[in-house]
Amino acid sequence: MTGRLQGKVAFITGAARGQGRAHAVKLAREGADIIAVDLAGHIDHVPYDSPTPEDLAETVRLVEAEDRRIVATIADVRDGAALRAAVDEGVAALGGLDIVVANAGICIPEAWDAITPETFRFTMETNVDGVFNSVVAGAPHIIAGGRGGAIVLTSSYAGKKMQPFMVHYTASKHAVTGMARAFSAELGRHNIRVNSIHPGGVNTPMGSGTMIDALTTAAETSPTLNGMGTPFLPVYAAEPEDIANAVAFLVSDDARLITSEHLSIDQGMHMF
């Protein structure tokens, strides 16, 4: 443990598995205590396996193995009141808040004319409303602490360029990119830095279930688009820990003057 985040408290959404779990473990290893939130239940419309309470319990175990404290709550990021309650409980138990990582999100591969009003709305509510709710739940506590802090919003390579066969996902991730800019401007006077990260493919349970079949079916509707997002490096999918390393940097004092940045962690995918 390098201790870059010693004495800090981080609020992380989507923490039961994948990138969210990696963020929780990495920040704990750097010295932070964790407020973890996850739906940990069935997610409508998505083709991959949903997270479970057991997944969230494993995150708790891994954080505690780093000798850090963690308060974990099952809640839906679309529910602003539930998020505020979870953060309030965590702050009361852990003594403050310094970091927000708004990581929770969903992805539903569909060609444009297969998207339904339900899947479009659900994507936007989760990926946009959920990120907004997370910042609104956490930022007042960072301000109250009076020592500044850092917020990271998980966008995507699709939030810089676009991702074929995901109009709703692309729209939602562009919105997240815009929120990072807007929040960074208004929260800067409190010495709160706000940045977005833009992963490409990441090796997480989002690739489970029938996700690959859904991607293949959508891609067959316009094969000429299938070369988009080809990485420059000989690594197609990052590991969750690769993304967590970047997050740990952005929320540390090593990045104390970096705000409103949109950091690609995609092996160059957004350039092709």
Active site residues: 169
| 39 contacts 27 by C-beta, under 8 angstroms | no
| CA–CA–CA angle 60, 133, 249 (5° rounding) | 55
Classify 229 as helix, strand or coil: coil
Instruction: Name the one residue in this structure whose structure tokens are 């396996």.
Output: 49
At 48, list the tokens.
């991959």
DSSP 51-78: P-HHHHHHHHHHHHHTT--EEEEE--TT
Residues in the chain: 272
Strand partners, 13: 37
- The distance of Cα 55 from the centroid of its chain, to the nearest Å, equals 16
The helix (H) or strand (E) run that includes residue 171 is helix 167-187
* d(C-alpha 194, C-alpha 163), whole Å: 24
Nearest C-alpha neighbor of 66 from the set 131, 119, 22: 22
